[in-house]
A and B are shown apart, each in its own frame.
Chain A
């Protein structure tokens, strides 16, 4: 026992990658861009929004891209996980905690105190950070920005820029490259640009890939009324939403596993795969975590089904207390607890501490639904290559969903787990070519 501890103690001291001067410059560009936005947030009368927005986004993008380039240009294409467990940012050091705090505070402000971001109350003009994004919002939909527009812009920027970083990092693997291009495409077009353009055409906001039960408000009165009011197109969206969860989802999951959604299309998954990639190894691999995972995620699924049934009953019959509690109250609490606190604050805020897929693993009702389909009605599985496993532990370590892949691989068993999102990283990091994602069997 002493020896183990000794070894760990010697291995751990903050041995981190030293940044080259060019990398420092790139990071300063990003910092300057963010600083510009922060200053504007603090005092929006300092300058005109448009130039600040354009310059800051340019700086952030340029800095991020040149940083990526410098990070990987000297490296041969291949797995680059050096220092993941010794670097302060990626090994739960002080940098990670500070980042987690900042993200969490940002989410709390976003959900519950949007006025602090500068949201104009009762039709007043925006100030602060939200005013900064007004020009972009006007350009896209002819209206001023909301906190959600700002959030969407930042979110898309994170997925796009860090997605490019991910692609560079995994440039030797076509599966990873194609998958990430798909994530970038769906986020940028389906989640960000299309809904905004639709709004500019006086259509309801609708993210085509955000399906019930992830989109828990699909059956809410205001949402259904909004769709119905929009005439034919609204009915199409209604049909799309229903077919999406009743038909497309089971069929695609049967063909390819839940990955078609979770690691190729979904925005939450998309952020986890790109911005969260640096933290994927922090997921808890213990049996205990797996037990809690099943309890919580299926609990949320039950919650969303109950809540939705109550809401629909109320809509159809006017009866409000199908499950004793008032359907409006149920919906409200679901939105607060699951929609905001869990998916946002814990889901993203805790990336640097608990890993990138906390929401997807423990909370997402869509993942729960897809997982049940994957486990019982899918051709998808990960197969192992005979007896080639050397039990090194790379696959389990880099599984963002906390699956102990090695436990299966070293016994030569296929991996068929409800939670597997099919990101393919276990297969990529395996140094002995043991794992393959497959459709069929």
Chain B
């Protein structure tokens, strides 16, 4: 069987790798971005000089040949579903028996004036990095970043590393407060400001101004004008489906897929950022544009193509990020506000750089963990959440989850104290932070 994958991001690459592990099919992967798959999440580290592009590749170059996965560099112009052919911009065409669409996302833009000016760009693809580097070499003295998401804060850190003055425009009244509870969101605000970034909350862009085709500043909805010679647009991403809109494919925001990754057309699958689940698990989104989702979908589709019918399961949610120096991890469901039966136990370090939040429902069932500046072990948290463990049991054994480096301060006791203050109940520590206890826990009562 001849399998063609469009897009070599983590979704496409995982699918290719996993199909090869399970079968002997012919596999071809096309991408317009780079021959060899690389990690998009590492773009910032290349710019900051932490590592070269080479080190962001998912595998050594010879891996793909050894695995007999053909890599083609080229841009797909159209897909002919009826004849099972894909046409590239360079007029070549490729046929397939099964097609996997893994085209990822593109930066979201609005109809602002001045988006086409030189010095205005998003950060998503490799050539965005090239453009950013070119602009930096030319000299950026002041940059404005529009949008305060995860990519926005990464871009701020990147520019900051080159001693560029950065202003960040955020529509909400606190950073990422649609994802983070208020206290955590405030910690990020503080961290941004500690790095001398001019963070403007509740501020919106009206238009971008230019001179001779180059950006010269931005105008806010308040009428204020900020002079700058670089504008980063990081107002989120949207599925990259433009290629497919005219084909009659079912597209909502993303390409609609069933639980098996399949779309309405036979032998065609969609995975990763470009795909949208027709039905999501309650409490979850139909599009979760993150690395892990793309990877899991790639694995699932490989199983299905190789005859092992497996529905895609959203599983217990997890994600992570780093806000300048503060690491962030989340497991399970962590709402941004509490009440109506959902309670949270929150401890914060006085330096505002560390916090732990445990979320549980009216019956004491643990729902989620939110960590700032502290690492927790995914398997342990997931197991507690799946087993609907009682908060008091979790508190007794909380050390099992701690994944911080040896000798780091443990703060689990603080949470037990806070629980005592709220409920009057004394909870005693019953587990140690050691690998053998963790292994024992993970292999016990499942």
Residue in A4, A76, A178, A381 with the greatest tally of chain B CB atoms within 10 Å: A4
**Given A175-B407, A391-B39, A433 contacting B325 (CB threshold 8 A):** no
Contact: A397 with B36, CB < 8 Å? no
Point out the residue from B48, B129, B403, B408 that lies within 8 Å of A175, measured CB to CB: B408
By the criterion CB–CB under 8 Å, are A10 and B134 in contact? yes
Within 8 A of A (CB), among B314-364: 318, 320-322, 324-325, 327, 329
In the bound complex, residues from chain B placing their C-beta under 8 Å from that of A77 are 325
Do A383 and B435 touch across chains, with their CB atoms under 8 A apart?
A: yes
Please indicate the chain A residues that have their CB under 8 angstroms from the CB of B296 in the complex: 387
Spot the interface stretch: B54-62, B101-109, B259-267: B54-62
Selected contact of B435 from candidates A8, A428, A439, CB within 8 Å: A439
Stretch at the interface among B87-95, B164-172, B197-205, B373-381: B373-381
Separation of A345 and B49 alpha carbons in the complex (Å): 29
In the assembled complex, the Cα of A271 lies from the Cα of B305 at a distance in Å of 53
Determine chain B's interface SS by DSSP, over half rule: mixed
Bound-state CA distance A83–B375 (Å) is 27
Interface residues in B26-54 by Cβ distance below 8 A to A read 33-36, 39, 41-42, 45-54
Residues of B within 8 A of A76 (CB): 191, 194-195, 324-325
Q: Does B137 count as interface, using CB distance less than 8 angstroms? A: yes
A200 part of interface (Cβ distance < 8 Å): no
Closest A residue to B380 by CB, please name it: A386
Q: Report chain A residues within 8 Å CB of B42.
A: 390-394
Specify which chain B residues have a CB less than 8 angstroms from the CB of A396 in the assembled complex.
Answer: 55
CA distance A241 to B377 in the complex (A): 41
- Report the nearest B residue to A87, measured CB to CB: B49
Contact A85 B377 (CB under 8 A): no
* Distance in angstroms between the alpha carbons of A432 and B327 in the assembled complex: 7
Write the nearest CB–CB distance from A397 to chain B, whole angstroms. 4
Q: Is A11 an interface residue (CB 8 A)?
A: yes
Given A76-B195, A81-B49, A383-B435: A3 in contact with B10 (beta carbons within 8 A): no
Assess the A393–B407 pair: CB atoms within 8 A.
no
Please tell me if A431 contacts chain B, counting CB pairs below 8 Å: yes
How many CB-defined contacts (below 8 Å) exist between A and B? 171
Q: Which residues of B contact A6 (CB under 8 A)?
A: 130
- Residues in chain B near residue A79, CB distance under 8 A: 325
Q: Give min CB distance, A394 to chain B, whole Å.
A: 6
From B55, B195, B406, B436, contact of A393 by CB (8 A): B55
- CA A4 to CA B134, docked complex, whole Å: 15
Interface presence of A230 (CB below 8 A): no
Chain B contacts for A124, CB-based, 8 A: none
B73 is an interface residue with CB less than 8 A from chain A: yes
Question: With the chains together, A433 CA to B325 CA distance in Å?
Answer: 12
B40 to A, closest residue via Cβ: A390
Cα separation A407 to B51 with both chains bound (whole Å): 16
A89–B207 CA distance with the chains assembled, in angstroms? 43
A153 to B59, CA, bound (A): 44
Residues of A near any B CB (own CB < 8 A): 1, 3-4, 6-8, 10-11, 13, 15, 76-79, 81-87, 172-175, 178, 281, 285-287, 381, 383, 385-388, 390-394, 396-397, 407, 410, 424, 427-428, 431-433, 436-441
